[in-house]
Each structure stands twice: as structure tokens, then as C-alpha cells.
Amino acid sequence: MGHSLERWIDGELSERRARCIDEHVEGCEDCSAEVAALLKLKASVRRMRAGEPVAEAVGRLMAEAERLSTQ
Ligand SMILES: [Zn+2]
């Protein structure tokens, strides 16, 4: 699932595939942990690039994940 999870977070998957992963992540401890880790990693990468506070970056990523999961 690893690679798909990253693409899911990035919003690169089709709506159908994204929904499928969303449902899986909800019930899978391993994948939720991996999503959380990926979000954290991406947040710190973005913070380094943009020089913005990490909380702000995480908040935006969480909002994006929420948007993807409710599409
Ligand atoms: Zn899983």
C-alpha cells in the first residue's frame, strides 16, 4: 500500500481509487499510522521549502486529506 498511500495523500489517484483507499485506511491501523507519518514528513518538507510554521502546514494537509475523503 505504501506507494499508493503517498499518491492518495497527494491527491493523484482517481476518485474511485481514493475512496477505496480511504475506506481501507479507516479500518487499518498500519495504514493510518503510515498516513500520519507521511503527513508529518510532507509537513516538514513543505515547512523547509516555504519557511512556514509546521502547525500551519499540517493543518492544511489535514484539510486536504479531509477534502479527499469526503469527495
Ligand atoms: Zn492497510
Question: For residue 56, is pLDDT > 90?
Answer: no
How many A from CA of 49 to the centre of ligand 1?
30
How many A from CA of 53 to the centre of ligand 1?
30
How many A from CA of 68 to the centre of ligand 1?
18
| Inter-residue contact 52 to 46 (CB < 8 Å) | yes
Mean pLDDT of 4-16: 90
Residues 32/38/40/41 CA torsion (nearest 10 deg): 160
How many A from CA of 47 to the centre of ligand 1?
28
Question: For residue 43, is pLDDT > 70?
Answer: yes
**Helix, strand or coil, per DSSP, at residue 1:** coil
Chain-wide mean pLDDT for the chain?
A: 84
Per-residue pLDDT at 42 = 87
Per-residue pLDDT at 2 = 56
Q: What is the pTM of this model?
A: 0.58
Per-residue pLDDT at 26 = 93
- For the chain, the domains span 2-70
Residues 21/25/30/35 CA torsion (nearest 10 deg): 80
